[in-house]
Structure 1
Amino acid sequence: MSAPSNLWIADITLLCVAFVWGSSYITAKTVLQNYEPFMFLFYRFTITVLLMLPFVWKHLLGASMETWITGAIFGVFLFAIFSFETWGIDYTSASNSAFIISLTLILTPIMEWIINKKFTGNLFFLAVGLSIIGTGLLTFKDTFSLNFGDILILVAAFLRATQMTFTKRLTDGKILDNSALTIIQLAVVAILAGIINISFEHSTLFIIPKSTEFWLLTIYLALFCTIFAFYAQMVFIRKTSPSRVGLLMGMEPVFGALFSVVVGGEYLSLLNWTGGICIVVATFLGRQLLDRNKRLKTSI
C-alpha cells in the first residue's frame, strides 16, 4: 500500500476517534440523568477492563513491580480526571464540557512553565488569550459567568495537563509494559469509583441497572470511546504529521457541540459558537507548541 494511502487511513481513523470522543459528552450526560456519576464510572471502566482482559492478561501476569506501581499512580490521576469531568458533565451542558476539556492543550504548556520552568514562546500568549476569550463567549448566557459544572470541567482539564506534565518524569528510565500499564490504570479507576459509590452514593452499586439504554450507552463508551479510541490513537498517531493530528483531534469539541445540539437538543448562540471556535484555534496552537517542544527535546 502506498504512503499516501497510509496517510489517509491514519487521518480518517483519527477523525473517527475525534468523532466518537465528541459523542461521549452527550452520551455520558444522557446516562447521568438517571444514574449516579460514580456508579456509572464503575460500570464503564469495569466493562472496559473485562473486554480488554482476554487480550492483555499475559502482559499483566508478566508485568514488573515498577509497571504496577506506575500504573496505580496513573490510575489515581485518571480517576481524579474522570471524576471531575463526569461530575461536571452532570452540571453543565455537553457542548460546554466538550469545549472546556479541550483547554488541556493550553493548560499543559502553563504547567510545563510552572513545574519544569520551560517557557514555550510568545505564541503561547496568543493561545492563552484566545482560550480565555473563547471560554468567556462560550459560557455567556445572560452574563459572562462559569457555572459549577464548567468549573468542574476546568479542574478536570487542569488535572489532565498536570498528568501530561508528570508522565515523562514518572516513566523516564523505567522499563514498562504499555498494555499492562493501561489496564492497571483502568482497573484502578473502576475500583476507586466503586469505593466512592459505596461510601457516598447510597451504595447504588449494588442495584444492578435494568435499563437497556444504560447498558447500550455504557458499553458504547467502553468499547468505542475508550478501547477503540485509545488503541487507534496509539497506532495511527505516529503515521501522520503533528500538524494534521492537531487539526484532526481538534475536531473533538466541534463534534461534541454538534452532538449536543442535534442529539441533545441543546442551544448554542452565534456568540457561543464563536467562543467554541476560538477555543479550537487556541488548542490547535497549544498542540503545535507541545509538538515543537518535543522536537526540541529530541534534537538536544
Structure 2
Amino acid sequence: MPNSEVIRKPKSRFHINNFPWAADIILLLVALAWGSSYITAKTVLNNYEPFMFLFYRFLLTVLIMLPFTWRNLKKASSETWITGVIFGLFLFSIFSFETWGIHYTSASNSAFIISLTLILTPILDWIVNKKFTGFTFFMAVGLSIIGTGLLTFKDTILFNIGDSLILGAALLRATQMTFTKKMTEGKVLDSSALTVIQLGVVAVLSGVFSLSAEGTSLFHIPQSLEFWLLTLYLALFCTIFAFFAQMVFIRRTSPTRVGLLMGMEPVFGAFFATLIGGEILTSINWLGGICILGATFWGRYLLDRRLKYSTP
C-alpha cells in the first residue's frame, strides 16, 4: 500500500494573529470615530430630540447591515440572540445617557468625562475577573485622567445635569467592556449577528421612548439633508465599524487595554471640536493631549510587560 501524504494548506501570512498590534490599531480607529461623534451628535441635537435621533440613527444602521447579515441572523443560535439582547440593553442605556448628556453639555466636556471609563474599567476588571493590573498601571491611568483635565480645562468647572449623565455613561461603558469578554469567552457566537441584534434592540427601545417620553411622531421623517448626512456618518463609522470592530477585537485583548486605548477618544474629540465646532484649545489643553498620548503608550508597555512575565 503506497504511503499517503497529508496535504495541509499553508497558513496565511496575513492572519490576524501574526500581527499582535492589529487589535490595538483597530481599537484606536474606533476611538477616532467615537471622538468625532461628539461634535457630530451635538450638531444634530441642536434641532432634534435625543430619542428621535437615536431611533433614526440605529434604524438606518440596521437597515444597512441587514442585507449582509440576514443569513447569519437566521442561523444564529438562541445563545447568540440572548446575548445580543442583553448587550442591546447595555448599549441602549449607554447611548441614552450619552445622547442626553451631550444635549445638555458641551462636546469637550463630554469627551473629558467619558474618559473616566479609563479608571473605571480596570477597577471593574479587578472586581469581576480578579485581574489586578498593578499599581504602576494606575499611575498611567492617573496621568491620562490628568491629561484629559488639562485638555478640556476652561476658566471654571461647572458640573451640570449633562455632565452627570455622561459620567453615568462612562460607568456603563466600563461595565459593558468588562462583561463583554466574560459573557462571550468560550462561546461560539456570530459577531455580525450579535452586532445587528443589539443595534436592533437600541432602535426599537429608542422608538418606544421617543413616542412615550418625547411625544415625537416617528412617521414625520426629517427633511434636512444635514440631518441625514450626519446620521449616515454616525451609522457607518461610529456605529457599524466601531461596534463590530470592538466586538471582534475585544476578545483578542483585555478589557483594561481596551479601556486604555479608548483614552485617545477625548484627544480626537477635542481635535474635531476645534476643527468643526470652532472651539479654541490653549497650550495647556494641548499639553493634556500629550499627557494622554504618553499615558496610552506607557500603559501599553506595562500591560505587555506584565503579560510577558506572567506567561510560563
Shorter-chain TM-score bucket reads 0.7 to 0.9
CA contact (8 A) 1:84 1:153 kept: yes
Q: Secondary structure at the match of 2:221?
A: coil
Which residues of 2 match residues 264-275 of structure 1 at below 5 A?
Answer: 264-275=277-288
Relative to 1, partners in 2 of residues 1:280 and 1:196: Cα closer, same or farther, differing over 3 Å? farther
Structure 2 unmatched runs, 5+? 1-11
Matched, 1:108 2:91: no
In structure 2, the residue matched to 1:21 is 34
Tell me if 1:124 matches 2:137.
Answer: yes
For each residue in 1:13-68, what CA deviation from the matched residue of structure 2 results, as whole angstroms up to 9, or x when unmatched?
A: 77655443332211111001000111111111110000000011111111111111
Indicate the larger mover: 52-61 or 277-286: 277-286
Q: State the 1:253 CA deviation.
A: 2.8
Aligned to 2:55: 42
Shift in CA distance, 72/273, structure 1 to aligned 2, threshold 3 Å = same
Offset of 1:85 from its aligned partner? Answer: 1.4
Distance 1:189 1:15 in 2: 24
Which of 70, 95, 99 is the aligned partner of 1:82? 95
The 1:113–1:238 alpha-carbon spacing in structure 2 relative to 1, beyond 3 Å, is closer
Q: Which residue of 1 aligns with 2:77?
A: 64
The answer to whether residue 258 in structure 2 is matched with residue 258 in structure 1 is no
In the alignment, structure 1 residue 150 sits paired with structure 2 residue 159? no
Q: 1:246 to 1:202 in 2, by over 3 A?
A: closer
Comparing 105-114 with 282-291, which one deviates more in the overlay?
Answer: 282-291
* Root mean square deviation of aligned Cα: 3.6
The equivalent of 2:195 in structure 1 is 182
The one of 154, 167, 184 equivalent to 1:141 is: 154
Please state how far the C-alpha of 1:276 moved relative to its aligned partner.
4.1
- How far the C-alpha of 1:258 sits from its partner, in A, is 1.5
Larger deviation, residues 190-199 vs 168-177: 168-177
8 Å contact from structure 1 (residues 36, 204) kept in 2: no
Structure 2 length-normalised TM: 0.79
Q: Deviations over 1:228-265 (max 9, x none)?
A: 344566778999xxxx9999865443222111112111
Unaligned residue ranges in structure 1 (runs of 5+): none
CA distance in 2, matches of 1:151, 1:288: 32
Residue identity over aligned pairs, in percent, reads 73
Following superposition, the deviation at residue 153 of structure 1 comes to: 1.9
Rg bigger for which structure?
A: 2
Q: Greater shift after overlay, 268-277 or 30-39?
A: 268-277
Instruction: Decide whether aligned partners of structure 1 residues 160 and 286 sit closer, same or farther in structure 2, where only a CA change above 3 A counts.
Output: farther
Letter in 2 for 1:178: S
Report how far residue 118 of structure 1 moved. Answer: 2.8
Task: Check conservation: 2:261, 2:296, Cα contact below 8 A.
Answer: no
CA contact (8 A) 2:181 2:250 kept: no
CA distance in 2, matches of 1:207, 1:144: 39
Structure with bigger helix share is 1
From the superposition, tell whether residues 107 and 150 of structure 1 become closer, same or farther in structure 2 (CA, over 3 Å): same
